[in-house]
Amino acid sequence: MIRISGRPLQEAGSLPLTRMEQSIVKAKENSPVTYYYPLKEALVYEMQMRSKIVKAANDLNASYARFAPFRESFSNPRYWIRTPNGGFRLRGNVQPADGIRDIFEHGEYYGFECSTAIMILFYKAVLDMIGDDEFNKYFQNLYLRDWHASNYLPLVITEDKNEAYLGDGVYFENPDFDPKGPEWRGENAIVMGPNLYFGHGIGLKSAEEIMAALNEKRKPNSTIEAFQADLVVHPDFEFLRNLSSDGNAVQAFSQQAWNPFVAQIGSQTTYYY
């Protein structure tokens, strides 16, 4: 169910949304979980962000960016400095928007883990949503690695795979992974459609195909098969909507020290880095 300012959503079909975005709204309306929005504009913003995440995933899949474990990751040295732990830190003379865009335009110069890919997709969607100027103000000193290195990009994390929608990040866990290949302990993926996911290094696959690929990377004599975990993650859409409508907030927040904190609301956790 969807509620706007405490009331059930009315005339969802009149919202300025694409067919795909309308399908997400319909799925949320049919959910036993109630989703609250302060305004219709907040709902529209989320749907548009979700579609941009899906588009970014398709674009990354079509690029020449390769999968590489953290120990072997690489990036375009013109834009990024590779850190010892396999992450990428933006060079001081590079605009954040240019750095993110280069990954999609010159993917052959990049190799990274699937968790890094999720963050790249989230950042690209935000860039496409708010534009270069605000993105460059807000995401100064950009650093890419995994979900726990998302400087100033708040993430909402829930634990109900049945409430994963287009554009959400999900996780397929492989508890008996072969220790010789620790990168196969799981696969981070983006929901792309009904039983369709994009996982960097695996591509566009069904849940069954992803789990089958992980099962091939288990340790000898394993008895525990891969499975889809309950974890679901996406950017804090409402935070970004408010941010993009207030340029002063962009400047003020980007100048804060990098001190992560966590907000817990019911079963929903928001991580701020």
Q: 241-270: per-residue pLDDT in tens?
A: 988 765 444 443 443 433 333 333 333 443
The full set of domain ranges for the chain reads 38-158+233-272
Give 73's pLDDT tier (boundaries 50, 70, 90): very high
Query: Which band of pLDDT confidence, cut at 50, 70 and 90, is reported for residue 13?
Result: confident
Residues 29-58 have a mean pLDDT of 97
Query: Could you tell me which residue, 53 or 253, shows the higher pLDDT?
Result: 53
Residue 235 to residue 153: CA distance in whole angstroms: 7
Distances (CA, A) of 50 to 21, 43, 55, 256: 8, 11, 9, 27
Predicted confidence at residue 255, as pLDDT, reads 39
Using CA atoms, how far apart are residues 219 and 259, in angstroms rounded to an integer?
38
Q: What pTM value is reported for the model?
A: 0.90
Q: Return the structure tokens found at 83.
A: 């850190």
Neighbours of 5 (CB within 10 A): 10
Q: Which of 100, 94, 87 is nearest to 126 (CA)?
A: 100
d(CA 181, CA 88): 22
Residue 151 pLDDT: 57
Nearest to 150 by CA among 126, 174, 179, 181: 126
Query: What are residue 79's DSSP bridge partners?
Result: none
Q: Which helix (H) or strand (E) holds 268?
A: strand 268-272
Residue 93 corresponds to which amino acid? N
**β-strand partners of 268:** 265
What is residue 12's DSSP assignment? Answer: G
Other beta carbons within 10 Å of 103: 28
Asked if 196 and 168 touch (Cβ cutoff 8 Å), the reply is no
What is the average per-residue pLDDT within 33-61? 97
Q: What is the DSSP string of 30-46?
A: TSSS-EEESSHHHHHHH
Radius of gyration of the chain (CA): 19
For the segment 99-126, the average pLDDT, to the nearest whole number, is 97
